[in-house]
Amino acid sequence: AQKVTQAQTEISVVEKEDVTLDCVYETRDTTYYLFWYKQPPSGELVFLIRRNSFDEQNEISGRYSWNFQKSTSSFNFTITASQVVDSAVYFCALSEARIQAGTALIFGKGTTLSVSS
C-alpha cells in the first residue's frame, strides 16, 4: 500500500536557522514521483519541488534543497536561512505512474513550520 509519513508534526525555528523537513514513503511501484507542497494560511497548496524515482540527484534551488534516497525511501526537504514568510504547513506527497493511479496524490499529514523573528 502507498503511504507517506511525516513524523514531525510541528517545528519552530528562529529566522536564519536552517530547517529540514523529513518525509518517508512507501510504494510497491518502481516508477513514482515525489513532491513537496506548501500550504500558507490562505489555504491553497503551492508546488515547491518534484522528483521522479529514477533521479536521485539532489539539488539546490535558491534556499530550498532536497535529499532523495531510495535506499531509505526518504525525501527530505531543507530550507536554508529560514524567513518568517516560510511559516506554513509543508506536505510531502507521492504519486504513482500506473495509468490506474491517474494523477492522484497521496499526502503525508504535514509539518507545521513556524519561523519567528
Partner 1 sequence: KAGVTQTPRYLIKTRGQQVTLSCSPISGHRSVSWYQQTPGQGLQFLFEYFSETQRNKGNFPGRFSGRQFSNSRSEMNVSTLELGDSALYLCASEAGARSGTEAFFGQGTRLTVV
Q: Which is nearer to partner 1, 23 or 108 (by Cβ)? A: 108
Query: Residue 17 and residue 14: Cα distance in Å, rounded?
Result: 6
> Least Å distance between CB 78 and partner 1?
20
Query: Residue 26 and residue 4: Cα distance in Å, rounded?
Result: 6
Q: Which is nearer to partner 1, 102 or 117 (by Cβ)? A: 102
Name the nearest CA neighbour of 105 among 91, 115, 116: 91
With residue 50 as reference, give the H or E element that holds it. Answer: strand 46-52
Residue from 9, 57, 61, 103 touching partner 1 (CB under 8 A): that is: 103
Residues that bind partner 1 (CB under 8 A): 32-33, 37, 42-47, 50, 52, 91, 95-97, 99-110
